[in-house]
Structure 1
Amino acid sequence: MAPDKPQKINGVSFVSSRDTINATHIDPVVNIHANYASIMPFGFVRSVDHHEINYNRQRQWYGERRDGVRQYIKSLKARGIKIMLKPQLWVGGVFTGQIKMNDEAAWEQFENSYSSYILEYAALAEEVKADIFCIGTELESFIDHRPDYWKRLITDIKKVYKGKLTYAANWNEYDRTPFWNELDYVGIDAYFPVSDLKTPKLEDCKLGWLKHKDTIHAFSKKHNKPILFTEYGYRSVDFAGKQPWRSDRDMDQVNFEAQNNTTQALLETFWDEEWFVGGFVWKWFHNHERSGGENDSQFTPQNKPTEAILKEWYSKY
């Protein structure tokens, strides 16, 4: 009898669209042996110091609203794909980690708005039996300035949702996030710099991971929590491993080799480790046949050589 394959979260970050989804949109997810999808209903904030979050509005795309999220999750689950529900904020093109209110009254208004947003989707996560609920994404300054609020929020979430919890900490934030002991996974958006080279070789990237891996492993042991890469991935662009978080449009020199080697190195470095539960590649669009491709310098692996690398690795777990 063949030994059982180790179980990992082989995830895709499934991007919302203006449409419903059906089997033609889900087949490509199944075909790469993904077993999880991250569904991301966005809330929109006017600026980093604005205290109101707009969400679940009719002018948003269908997949970003509550009814669309429900339809996406139901359709994916019907094909055996498990779900992480990951509501996250968008702040007019500015990094969400910079959100910071100007006074106590504004903080309290913002916290009330965030609680309404998160608890609505926590209730939906319970309704649809989502496997993981992510309580926030890359909210570094918000957490630094208001740690007590986050402890209260987690308590309130647990009254509503009974599944596994995580938070998507940015790669340079996770080590000071104060509430990991209240969650099930240490969630990291894994945009760690691994190489300054224009086209790094596989071994360059694996070498670049060594110091990060040791630190992440030690952190996992310290908190006795498994590591989940709530996002990971690289652009198909020159210098893909230098500052992997960058999405600048002026970075447009397509480089598939750089994307291949950075992705392969991450998978080789982490997927075999017992303390690592898996991750969600950034990002995956519903219309597979029109996504990515030979002229695309952005993150998606779709219709690029990296898609085959992902499929090969996901097939092992």
Structure 2
Amino acid sequence: MKHYLFLVALMFLACNTPNADKINGVSFVSSGDEVSQIHVNPVLDIHANYAAIMPFGFIQKPDTPELYFNTERQWFGERREGAKQYIEALHKNGVQVMLKPQIWISRGEFTGNLAMKNETDWVNFESGYRDFILLYAQLAEETETDIFCIGTELATFIKERPEFWQGLIQDVKKVYHGKLTYAANWDEYGKTPFWDQLDFIGVNAYFPLCEKQNPTMETLREGWQPWKEKLKTLAEDLEKPMLFTEFGYRSMDFTGKKPWLVDRNEMNVNLKAQADATQVIFEEFWNEEWFAGGFVWKWFMHHDQVGGHADNRFTPQNKPAESVIRRQYALANKTGT
């Protein structure tokens, strides 16, 4: 009897431990190759229970209405057939999926500035974007994908065309019956008008934390506090869980200054800064009841060929930050069983 009660107590604690049901995800970068087991094994090795799959649509300039997607000129993983194969391979291994179609503007221009010149161009662009999103919403339904993201960092588009987004959400709900989110930029989420119609408040969490070259964990923790309070307030006011649709840091000096930087600068490699910043974000958020979890930016298929100690980019692969992630994500396995 005592043994039975002890097991019941353990199950109760597991179900009521904030970390137990967190989304412990990676942003699984599209490739020209099909996914095989050798590519999934590193995801399992860090105990990730979710992966974001990201097919792409392309436009030439921020004011160009033509959106190209699902074409033979794209990499396998950027097309519908590739996204489907990736999802099925991950689901086979017990990894849940967020399908997150995204726009890429030539030369990597910021999608938040995307805006058309006139009404005709807006209407044409919206038609293409609706087709793009509904194509993948239908795929999400077909594959029983767990979360679908309706857009990523499109602040001006949302501000200028709110009626379109209201209609798009309703259109998506007609074909997909899982959970929905939108990936708002860190400086955008407070102005996103349709959180009440989605299941998660999605934020790409590249918040500036400090301007130090070699920030201490305490400095990084202090830098989080004002942002954390605002995130918590919104989540509690809307009664919606907060999801970091992307989070991560580059392994370089000044990693907390402008965490969103994707340029090819030659800033000195700083592996400790990346690992410390990753540890701090886990400590600050993963035990909060209003926080759903997040997706590390970013994770490449060919694990043994990326990252490493000479790399100053975002990926944590083959760096100390990977061990930080593995340790944190493993906690859910221990508390969630």
Query: What TM-score do the two structures reach when normalised by structure 1?
Result: 0.99
Whether 1:85 and 2:99 are equivalent positions in the alignment is: yes
The residue number in structure 2 matching 1:24 is 38
Whether 1:70 and 2:76 are equivalent positions in the alignment is: no
Give CA deviations for 1:39-66 in whole Å, capped at 9, x if unaligned.
0001001100000110111111101111
Matching of residues 89-128 of structure 1 within 5 Å: 89-92=103-106, 93-128=108-143
Alpha-carbon distance in structure 2 between the residues aligned to 1:119 and 1:304? 38
Give CA deviations for 1:64-123 in whole Å, capped at 9, x if unaligned.
111111100000000000000000000111000000001111100010010000000000
- Structure 1 residue 248: deviation in Å? 1.5
Whether 1:61 and 2:75 are equivalent positions in the alignment is: yes
Alpha-carbon distance in structure 2 between the residues aligned to 1:299 and 1:176? 27
- Structure 1 residue 251: deviation in Å? 3.7
Whether 1:257 and 2:272 are equivalent positions in the alignment is: yes
- Structure 1 residue 250: deviation in Å? 1.5
The residue number in structure 2 matching 1:183 is 198
The residue number in structure 2 matching 1:166 is 181
Alpha-carbon distance in structure 2 between the residues aligned to 1:149 and 1:21? 35
Alpha-carbon distance in structure 1 between the residues aligned to 2:24 and 2:71? 31
The residue number in structure 1 matching 2:3 is none
The residue number in structure 1 matching 2:250 is 235
Alpha-carbon distance in structure 2 between the residues aligned to 1:230 and 1:247? 17
Alpha-carbon distance in structure 1 between the residues aligned to 2:224 and 2:266? 23
SS of alignment partner, residue 115 of structure 2: coil
SS of alignment partner, residue 21 of structure 2: coil
SS of alignment partner, residue 168 of structure 1: strand
- Structure 1 residue 313: deviation in Å? 0.5
Amino acid corresponding to residue 143 of structure 2 in structure 1: V
Alpha-carbon distance in structure 2 between the residues aligned to 1:21 and 1:60? 16
Please tell me whether Structure 1 or Structure 2 has the larger radius of gyration of its CA atoms.
Answer: 2
Alpha-carbon distance in structure 2 between the residues aligned to 1:173 and 1:302? 29
Amino acid corresponding to residue 184 of structure 2 in structure 1: A
- Structure 1 residue 309: deviation in Å? 0.3
The residue number in structure 2 matching 1:294 is 309
Aligned match for 1:226, one of 219, 241, 256 = 241
SS of alignment partner, residue 148 of structure 1: helix
Q: How many residues align?
A: 317
Whether 1:201 and 2:219 are equivalent positions in the alignment is: no
Amino acid corresponding to residue 287 of structure 2 in structure 1: D
The residue number in structure 1 matching 2:229 is 214
Give CA deviations for 1:164-186 in whole Å, capped at 9, x if unaligned.
00000000000000000000000
Alpha-carbon distance in structure 2 between the residues aligned to 1:196 and 1:300? 21
Structure 1 ranges of 4+ moved more than 6 A: none
Query: What TM-score do the two structures reach when normalised by structure 2?
Result: 0.93
RMSD over equivalenced CA pairs, Å: 0.7
- Structure 1 residue 291: deviation in Å? 1.1
- Structure 1 residue 272: deviation in Å? 0.3
Unpaired runs of 5+ residues, structure 2, are 1-6, 333-337
Alpha-carbon distance in structure 2 between the residues aligned to 1:199 and 1:259? 10
- Structure 1 residue 306: deviation in Å? 0.3
Alpha-carbon distance in structure 1 between the residues aligned to 2:28 and 2:296? 9
SS of alignment partner, residue 26 of structure 1: helix
Alpha-carbon distance in structure 1 between the residues aligned to 2:294 and 2:82? 23
Alpha-carbon distance in structure 2 between the residues aligned to 1:227 and 1:250? 32
The residue number in structure 2 matching 1:309 is 324
Alpha-carbon distance in structure 2 between the residues aligned to 1:146 and 1:37? 30
Identity of aligned residues (%): 52
Alpha-carbon distance in structure 2 between the residues aligned to 1:8 and 1:15? 21
Alpha-carbon distance in structure 2 between the residues aligned to 1:90 and 1:68? 17
The residue number in structure 2 matching 1:140 is 155
- Structure 1 residue 238: deviation in Å? 0.6
The residue number in structure 1 matching 2:66 is 52
- Structure 1 residue 221: deviation in Å? 1.1
SS of alignment partner, residue 262 of structure 2: coil
Alpha-carbon distance in structure 1 between the residues aligned to 2:94 and 2:277? 29
Unpaired runs of 5+ residues, structure 1, are none
Alpha-carbon distance in structure 2 between the residues aligned to 1:197 and 1:65? 41
Higher helix proportion, which one?
A: 2
